[in-house]
Each structure stands twice: as structure tokens, then as C-alpha cells.
Amino acid sequence: MATDVNRALLESGELEVTGRLVDASNATLYAKVVLNAVEKICIYKPIAGERPLWDFPDGTLADREYAAYLISDFLALNVVPLTILRDGPFGFGMVQEWIDIDEAIDLASYFSQDIPELRRMAFFDAIINNTDRKIGHLLPNLSGELYGCDHGVTFHEEDKLRTVLWQWAGEPLLPVEIKSLENLLAGLSGDLDLSSHLTHKEIEALRMRIQRLISEEVMPTPSPDWPAIPWPAF
């Protein structure tokens, strides 16, 4: 869970861009926030730097990234780094806590393991309909926790799950996962308001996806109608 100190830093700290991640297709800026002489590294993605996507004509990448964080936080999955929306040097956008990954972990072999941390991520991706879970979007840290990044192409109204985490395809959902789905469904009709960040169609598709998972009680399987793994996979 995010600490009050970290949240205050991201929300109120002075945001200074110090670099850019050049491999990203949208403007992804390496930055820091400073508040009362306390400094924290973060990622800043201004909406002005987003490239239009033909299959996501409405909404913004930043809003979908924030909606993904809200669901992770609501369910206490803790698979998305602390994420906020705020203004910055290049306009309004998403700001996300930087995660220092464990450099000793070989992601090329790590992603295919059958471990709870990866299953939690696969379960989360099934909920948010992640179309782009690459190996490089997995962020295992030095404390043994696993975070994921780049959740801008999610919540599509059509089923478009593309992921490298298929090792539980078709397996029964765990009781705790079904309970989480039931809590999330109730939350969408109560305290979890995503209407400022997702379209009406995306929210209704999210409800239907959750209901289907509860009804079928199994993890999703790859569809024959589109590539099941994103390209490039890393």
C-alpha cells in the first residue's frame, strides 16, 4: 500500500524532468519530485505526449493507467506502483512511483514460472483486459514484490487480452480470487467510481468481464481470433 509520505510527494512535490525513456512509443519521462527537501524518483507521462491509437479512440492512456492503479489498490493486489494524475512541466498527465527492480532476476526465465506473484498479475490483467503484458513490463523488486507498468492499453470494450502470462490458462480460480471479483463488482456500484477515467462502454465491459469470470470460475484462455502474446514479447 502507498504510504502517506509517498503520496504527498507525488501529489504536491515539485516535478522536475531529468530524462526520457527513449524506447517508449509515447512520451515517458524520467523525473523526480521534491517536497520539503525529500526527493523521490518517478515516471511522468504527459497526455500531450500520447500518440493516438486506432483501437482506443476515446479517453487517454493516463486515465487508463490510473484506473488500473485504482483497481489494484481497491483489491489490495498491490501490483501497480503508486500512480496519480497531476499537472507537470509538459501539462497534465500520469505520475508513477519508480520501482527499482532486482537486477539479479533474469526476466527471460522469471516470467514463465508458476509463482503467486505472477499469478496475481495474470489475474489482474484478466480483470483490466490488458492488451500488452510484456515481459519487460514486469518489475520484481529487491523485497520480493512484483509490480507491473504500462497499463495504458487496457479496459477495451472488446476482449483483447494479450499477455506472456498464460501458465494458468483454463485453471480454476482460487476462492480468494472469486471473492475479490465479487468485491470489485460491488465496488463498481459503490465506492469505486471510474467514470472520470473510463468510458461508459469500458466500464460496462469491465462489469461483464468480472461477471463472466465469476460465472465460469476459471482463468482466461487464449483467443483464436487475435494474437495471444504481444509483439515484441519483451
DSSP codes, 25-94: SS--EEEEEEETTEEEEEEEEEGGGPPPBTTB-SS-HHHHHHHHHHHHHHTT---S--EEEE--TTSSEE
- How many contiguous H segments (helices) and E segments (strands) does the chain have? 6, 7
pTM: 0.95
Beta carbons of 125 and 111 less than 8 angstroms apart: no
Per the DSSP assignment, residues forming a β-bridge with 192 are none
Nearest-angstrom CA–CA distance, 233 and 191: 36
- CATH of 4-216 given 3.30.70, 1.10.3470, 1.10.1060, 1.10.510: 1.10.510
Tell me the pLDDT of the chain (234 aa) as tens digits.
467 889 999 999 999 999 888 677 788 999 999 999 999 999 999 999 998 787 888 899 999 999 999 999 999 999 999 999 999 999 999 999 999 999 999 999 999 999 999 999 999 999 999 999 999 999 999 999 999 999 999 999 999 999 999 999 999 999 999 999 999 999 999 999 999 999 999 999 999 999 999 999 999 999 888 889 999 999
Nearest-angstrom CA–CA distance, 16 and 186: 39
Cα–Cα distances (Å) from 60 to 93, 196, 209, in that order, read 9, 11, 21
Write the CB contacts of 201 (distance below 8 Å, at least 6 apart in sequence): 157
Domain boundaries, the chain: 4-216
Residue 30, burial from CB neighbour count under 10 angstroms (0-12, 13-18, 19+) = middle
If you search the block for the grid coordinates 509515447, which residue do you land on?
A: 26
Q: Crossing angle for the helix pair 175-188 and 61-74, nearest 10 degrees?
A: 120
